[in-house]
Copies of this chain bind each other. A is one copy, B any other.
Amino acid sequence: MSEKVEQLKQHLYRYHDLHGAAAVLGWDEEVNMPPKGAEGRAEQMATLTALAHEIFTSEETGRLLEEAEAEVADMDYRSDEASLVRVVRRDYDKMTKLPTELVAEFSRATSHAFIAWREARQDDDYGHFKPHLQHLLDLILQTVEIIGYEDEPYDALLDFYEPGMKTAEVRALFESLKAGLLPLLEAIQERGAAVDNSFLTEQSYPVERQWELTEVILRKIGYDFSRGRQDKAPHPFTTEFSPSDVRITTRLFPNFPQAAIFGSIHEGGHALYEQGIPFKFARTALGHGATLGLHESQSRLWENMVGRSRNFWRYFFPIMQAFFPQQLMAVDLDTFYRAINRVKPDLIRVEADEVTYNFHIFIRFELEQAMVNGELSLDDLPEAWNEKYRAYLKITPPTDADGCLQDVHWAHGTLGYFPTYTLGNLISAQLFRRVRSEIPDLEAGFAEGEFKPLLDWLREHVHRHGAKFTAPELLEFELGESLDARPLIDYLTTKYRAIYRL
């Protein structure tokens, strides 16, 4: 073991412990906290974040980092030691630029903004949230200026969530994807209401049984409940406090069982990633999933390529029928399969089908760039949002609650995050194409309830690296590929041509 690297690691344990503790407080805030608990919690979060920031950006870290860099200089780029030092350096250079006061104020502001957003969404009152969003945007613009950027301001934000990628690259990938998907979407729309899902939305599915079904599915795909738990939250998310405590949330609607099922599988995909990070990386910068795009590739792969596949439901549909005999006994597998893959331009991103989903992301990506570039005043955000929905999806949100207030991300101060969802879709298709070619009977296994071959492949090719590599690096090292829109376009086109009989 390299002595200097070890010293750096041990010095940073506290930093990671504080982050783990803050994650517990964040989870509690969304799952359990009583309405008036926000004030004290905001101060506690700000203190944890500020202390963590102080430790990470201390001169001691800088000194240990330099010494460790000398020690790993001749090591393999892909070794654990060299990767740890490289990742810490990347974060250190970014974080030392941010003053502690700005970090603490950001933490405090997001705690308040989250509460305001929740109230604003409930009351459909964008005006109640706007001053909070403005304050966050001001802090974000300060951050952008302090961090700096080469080509455009949005690069500085994107780099927080998807290191190693530029806004221009993302735009190019998104334009390819848009060009590939638009003909498919138009062809589907011409087929009109060819797919019916009224048996899902016009019957009541008791939420307690939905809950049980999600837990059956999660267990079967490999989520380890001895190292995690599922709870209810208005906006589903995954969080990890340590490799042995990785929690997910889902939400339940009687007339929309898809929300719970695919929400749980999606968050389960994130959680399988975190539960698959080697224990040796615990309490270090490598001890979690790598970039958000890679994280989303795992959740979307499980949600869509697995969870919305016909073979998956060949196994699970009889189980679901047993849970809901009155609602589903008269429904056949093919009808069900087509219903859960119905394409319909609609308002809510997290419930969107695979084809329209990316358009929700294009909209947010474009609006965020406009906000950051000063081309869009927050006064005009609701209308700008609605205009984009009209342009891309030919629908108008009837309320801001289902419009620009629908996502929690901006309340968390995370601009630059949304594009990683579509990057995740791209990566998931690249990974899935490869694993299918390497394991020919993979999908036949799904029909038997066998998901371990897939999980093992992902453990081997993605999870075991922890946070060592950027998305482009991991694709290069494991697949020998660059990011590419083609596999996703091909996957979607093949799948939906069959479903819509195009």
Contact = CB atoms under 8 A, between A and B. Distances in A.
A112 interface: no
A470 B51 CA distance: 33
A8 B165 CA distance: 46
Interface in A30-78: 32-41, 43-44, 46-48, 50-51
Interface in A10-45: 13-14, 17-18, 20-22, 24-25, 28, 32-41, 43-44
Task: Give the contact-size bracket for chain A.
Answer: 35 or more
Interface of A: 13-14, 17-18, 20-22, 24-25, 28, 32-41, 43-44, 46-48, 50-51, 225-229, 241-245, 247, 282-283
Contacts of A21: 21-22, 25, 44, 47-48
B14 A245 contact: no
A244 B36 contact: yes
Contact of A40 (B18, B41, B43, B244): B244
A38 B244 CA distance: 8
Nearest to A40: B242
A226 B36 contact: yes
Oligomer copy total: 2
Contacts of A44: 17-18, 20-21, 24, 241-242
Contacts of A20: 40, 43-44
A39 B41 CA distance: 24
Contacts of A283: 40, 43
Given A34-B225, A225-B34, A229-B32, A17 B48 contact: yes
B47 A241 contact: no
A227 B283 CA distance: 33
Contact of A25 (B24, B39, B47): B24
A154 to B, nearest CB: 34
B51 A241 contact: no
B242 A47 contact: no
Given A14-B51, A41-B245, 12 more contacts: A18-B48, A21-B47, A21-B48, A24-B25, A24-B28, A34-B229, A36-B227, A39-B242, A40-B283, A43-B242, A43-B283, A44-B241
Contacts of A48: 17-18, 21
Contact of A41 (B33, B46, B242): B242
A222 to B, nearest CB: 15
Contacts of A38: 244
A40 B226 contact: no
A243 to B, nearest CB: 7
Contacts of A34: 225-229, 244-245, 247
7 contacts: A14-B51, A17-B43, A24-B24, A24-B28, A34-B229, A37-B227, A41-B245
A41 B241 contact: yes
Nearest to A242: B40
A32 to B, nearest CB: 7
A269 to B, nearest CB: 19
A38 B227 CA distance: 10
Contacts of A242: 37, 39-41, 43-44
Contacts of A225: 34
